[in-house]
Amino acid sequence: MTVERFASVWDAIADTPQEAASMRIRADLMTALQGWIEAKGCTQSEAANLFGVTQPRVSDLTRGRISLFSTDALLDMATAAGLRPKLTIHLAAKRATPRAPAKRERKDVAKAA
């Protein structure tokens, strides 16, 4: 039995390195926003008003529902909170067993007659 090791949980659950990177960034933004809400002692409604979203959206944020948020949406909320997110780029380490890139499905488009 071969045991596959990953650098992070995101690498383990993502289908592609690109998806893992996106989830990692979104998770960092979500964690920062959750910490900000807690540090300020805001209610979800107060945070929602400041972020320009609904209270259920803040609930999704605090529950860590990462699949419901885009990077752009999280950046907008972080900026509204007065946070200044910064992206740091590192050269990726080579993987012992690289994954094949995800195949994109081609959708045939019917030509109009």
CATH number at residue 39: 1.10.260.40
The residues, ordered by sequence, that sit 6+ positions from 95 with a Cβ below 8 Å of its Cβ are none
Residue 19 within a domain: yes
Residue 59 within a domain: yes
Residue 63 within a domain: yes
Residue 113 within a domain: no
pTM for this model (two decimals)? 0.72
Residue 28 within a domain: yes
Please state the domain count of the chain.
Answer: 1
Domain residue limits at 30: 9-80
pLDDT digits (tens, 9 = 90+) for 9-59: 666 666 787 888 888 999 999 999 999 999 999 999 999 999 999 999 999
Percentage helix, strand, coil for the chain under 3-state DSSP, each rounded to 5: 50, 0, 50
Residue 70 within a domain: yes
